[in-house]
């Protein structure tokens, strides 16, 4: 029952957030904070054995499969500098600062805290980027960073934890573990992606293909973790490849898969952000000597170090490569200070940091309690909440204030129209070739219908550039979509009336309604 309440409640709040200017992640976190103290609400303890292997893989998979492999490859340098360089930098800077700020906190335990709060969250970055309409290059960099940085942070955490609990970790051993995790994760992904894609394209039923699609992220993650490689990187590599080759899967699978993964992402993202807020009572319990002003001071100090360290890394990582490489200066436009500022401010932390923090063991190697474990949990929680609320709320007005250029809708529509025109000409040539063969003979009305459908697809994009209806203010798209929907609604009403009058049965009604649904979806897609 608690799980059902969590899913239903978080979905309802996320749906309500769509009617407000507040991004859904922030409203969910705030609701979780409030609801956590409502009498009768069950306690939801964030279990790292659930979040990391069961929630993280599908969230990474849907984010990576929606990303562009070509765009990420074009932005490989900034993505690598953020997802690897910045996470390691933040681990050391935050860890060293916490060691200096908090009395009696060992350096190894402080580095554990640094690794825990180092990675910006994939779910938070993607959710906010979608909502605020960031420029495409910034969105690509943030998405690419958030796909890979969890692997860096988890590996850094394991190395720091081994040193903290007294397992004799060394620099050489840490570098070796990092390389094993990175190379192994990528290698597992490369090994799995081709056979998984082959299986997807050779399964003949959409239901089987989509069942496989739901299993893929868990298979990739579990396989990599089994050999102590990075499950995160394995999932990302597989998802990028399958997303890049999605056109090779039949249309029924793509339609079904899109709907299924949208639902999965919506439910999981909603539950994840609600879970963050619901952790407040769990985190506050057991703070002990650090309650009150001292805990608040440590929380503010660590939060400020986390935010500042990102800017300290982002600006040199943006401008130094240009100073050192003439090739970069020739190939890339000169960046202004605005884009790095937005990237620096968009470093929201999320559920992965909390999940890693909750996985810190209770005791050390020799049985002593882990030093200041409850304080590390508290500082992680306050950093996550602080970045989500402060940066998440201020990011949209910041982007408007900086007047960053958004996507050029006119240029994108022209590119789409030119691509559709080239495709339509190829389809028309192929149709002429087919109709010239007597084995493909069609009555003239049906042949004309094929040409009309092709003509409609070719013209629909150009019509989007046209003027709005002077009477209604609607675009040509909106009018076409509305009229199509009205016609289909009239047909649908007749079919239902015939079923109610026993002229047709329910099975035939479902067949007829599915045909109308596909036509309505086609009309919507043409206009959209």
Give per-residue pLDDT as tens, 111-132: 999 999 999 886 666 666 666 6
- Do 365 and 481 have their domain in common? no
Q: What is the pLDDT of residue 315?
A: 94
Residue 400 has a CB neighbour count (10 Å cut-off) of: 11
- Do 393 and 431 have their domain in common? no
Q: What is the pLDDT of residue 323?
A: 86
Least confident of 58-62, 234-238, 263-267, 420-424: 420-424
- Do 419 and 379 have their domain in common? no
Q: For the chain, what percent of residues have pLDDT higher than 70? A: 88
pTM: 0.84
pLDDT tens-digit series, residues 259-314: 899 899 888 888 888 888 888 887 877 676 666 788 889 999 999 999 999 999 99
Which range of 39-48, 347-356, 405-414 scores highest in mean pLDDT? It is 347-356
- Do 389 and 494 have their domain in common? no
- Do 403 and 427 have their domain in common? no
Least confident of 17-26, 123-132, 145-154, 427-436: 123-132
Q: What domain range is 456 assigned to?
A: 408-466
- Do 458 and 483 have their domain in common? no
Give backbone dihedrals phi and psi of 369, rounded to 5 degrees, phi first. Answer: -60, 145
Do the beta carbons of residue 93 and residue 305 sit within 8 Å?
yes
Local structure of 36: helix, strand or coil? coil
Q: What is the pLDDT of residue 406?
A: 63
DSSP-based helix, strand, coil % in the chain, nearest 5: 80, 0, 20
- Do 234 and 347 have their domain in common? yes
- Do 395 and 462 have their domain in common? no
Q: What is the pLDDT of residue 527?
A: 47
Which residues, 6 or more positions from 135, have their beta carbon under 8 angstroms from its beta carbon?
A: 339, 404, 405, 406, 407
The 10 Å CB-count burial string (b at 16+, else e) for 167-187 is eebeeeebeebbeebbebbbb
What sign does the CA torsion over 325, 327, 332, 334 have?
positive
**CA-to-CA distance for 381 and 377, rounded, in angstroms?**
6
pLDDT tens-digit series, residues 123-163: 666 666 666 667 778 888 888 898 888 889 988 898 888 88
Local structure of 369: helix, strand or coil? strand
**pLDDT (mean) for 205-227:** 92
**CA-to-CA distance for 85 and 137, rounded, in angstroms?**
19
Choose one of 374, 389, 407: the last residue of a domain. 407
Q: Please tell me which residue, 274 or 87, carries the higher pLDDT value.
A: 87
Cα 297 versus chain centre, distance: 33
Q: What is the pLDDT of residue 217?
A: 96
Choose one of 407, 425, 440: the last residue of a domain. 407
- Do 391 and 421 have their domain in common? no
Q: What is the 3-state secondary structure (H, E, C) of 371-432?
A: CCHHHHHHHHHHHHHHHHHHHHHHHHHHHHHHCCCCCCHHHHHHHHHHHHHHHHHHHHHHHH
Average pLDDT, the chain: 83
Q: Provide the number of structural domains found in the chain.
A: 3
Two tokens at 56? 């993280």
pLDDT tens-digit series, residues 316-357: 999 998 888 878 888 877 888 888 999 999 888 888 888 888
**CA-to-CA distance for 273 and 24, rounded, in angstroms?**
9
**CA-to-CA distance for 94 and 483, rounded, in angstroms?**
59
- Do 357 and 414 have their domain in common? no
- Would you say residue 387 has pLDDT above 80? yes
Q: What is the pLDDT of residue 86?
A: 95
Local structure of 24: helix, strand or coil? helix
Q: What is the pLDDT of residue 380?
A: 92
Two tokens at 506? 């329910």
- Do 54 and 173 have their domain in common? yes
- What's the pLDDT band for 526 if we cut at 50, 70, 90? low
- Do 194 and 310 have their domain in common? yes
CATH code where residue 110 lies? 1.20.1530.20
- Would you say residue 402 has pLDDT above 80? yes
Q: What is the pLDDT of residue 219?
A: 96
Choose one of 360, 388, 407: the last residue of a domain. 407
Q: Cα–Cα distances in Å, from 500 out to 283, 489, 494, 503, 517?
A: 58, 16, 10, 8, 20
Do the beta carbons of residue 116 and residue 380 sit within 8 Å?
yes
**pLDDT (mean) for 498-514:** 82
């Amino acid at each position: 029952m608690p799980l059902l309440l969590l899913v239903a409640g978080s979905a309802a709040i996320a749906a309500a957030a769509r009617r407000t200017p507040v991004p859904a992640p922030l409203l969910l976190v705030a609701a979780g904070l409030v609801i956590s103290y409502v009498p009768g609400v069950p306690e939801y303890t964030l279990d790292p054995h659930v979040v990391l292997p069961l929630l993280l893989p599908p969230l990474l998979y849907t984010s990576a499969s929606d990303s562009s492999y070509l765009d990420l490859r074009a932005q490989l340098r900034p993505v690598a500098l953020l997802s690897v360089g910045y996470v390691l930098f933040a681990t050391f800077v935050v860890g060293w600062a916490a060691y200096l700020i908090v009395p009696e906190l060992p350096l190894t335990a402080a580095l554990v805290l640094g690794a825990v709060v180092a990675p910006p969250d994939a779910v938070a970055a993607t959710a906010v980027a979608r909502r605020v309409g960031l420029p495409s290059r910034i969105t690509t960099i943030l998405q690419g960073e958030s796909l890979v940085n969890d692997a860096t942070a988890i590996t850094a955490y394991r190395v720091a934890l081994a040193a903290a609990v007294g397992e004799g970790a060394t620099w050489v051993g840490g570098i070796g573990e990092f390389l094993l995790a990175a190379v192994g994760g990528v290698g597992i992904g490369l090994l799995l992606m081709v056979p998984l894609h082959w299986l997807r394209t050779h399964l003949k039923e959409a239901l089987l293909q989509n069942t496989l699609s739901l299993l893929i992220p868990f298979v990739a993650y579990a396989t990599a973790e089994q050999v102590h490689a990075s499950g995160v990187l394995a999932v990302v590599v597989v998802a990028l490849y399958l997303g890049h080759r999605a056109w090779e899967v039949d249309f029924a699978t793509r339609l079904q898969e899109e709907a299924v993964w949208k639902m999965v992402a919506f439910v999981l993202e909603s539950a994840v952000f609600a879970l963050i807020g619901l952790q407040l009572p769990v985190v506050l319990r057991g703070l002990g000597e650090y309650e009150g002003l001292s805990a608040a001071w440590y929380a503010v100090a660590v939060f400020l170090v986390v935010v500042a360290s990102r800017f300290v890394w982002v600006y040199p990582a943006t401008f130094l490569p240009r100073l050192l490489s003439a090739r970069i200066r020739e190939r890339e436009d000169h960046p202004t200070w605005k884009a790095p500022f937005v990237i620096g401010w968009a470093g929201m932390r999320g559920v992965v940091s909390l999940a890693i923090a909750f996985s810190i063991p209770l005791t050390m190697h020799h049985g002593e309690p882990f030093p200041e474990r409850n304080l590390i949990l508290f500082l992680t929680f306050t950093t996550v909440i602080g970045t989500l609320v402060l940066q998440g709320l201020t990011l949209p007005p910041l982007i408007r204030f900086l007047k960053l250029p958004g996507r050029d809708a006119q240029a994108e529509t022209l590119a789409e129209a030119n691509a559709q025109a080239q495709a339509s000409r190829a389809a028309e040539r192929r149709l002429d070739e087919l109709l010239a063969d007597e084995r493909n003979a069609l009555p003239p009305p049906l042949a004309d219908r094929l040409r009309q459908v092709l003509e409609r697809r070719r013209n629909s994009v150009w019509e989007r550039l046209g003027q709005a209806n002077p009477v209604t203010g609607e675009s040509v798209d909106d009018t076409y979509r509305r009229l199509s929907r009205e016609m289909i609604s009239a047909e649908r009403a007749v079919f239902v009336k015939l079923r109610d009058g026993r002229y047709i049965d329910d099975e035939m009604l479902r067949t007829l309604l599915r045909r109308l649904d596909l036509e309505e979806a086609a009309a919507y897609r043409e206009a959209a």
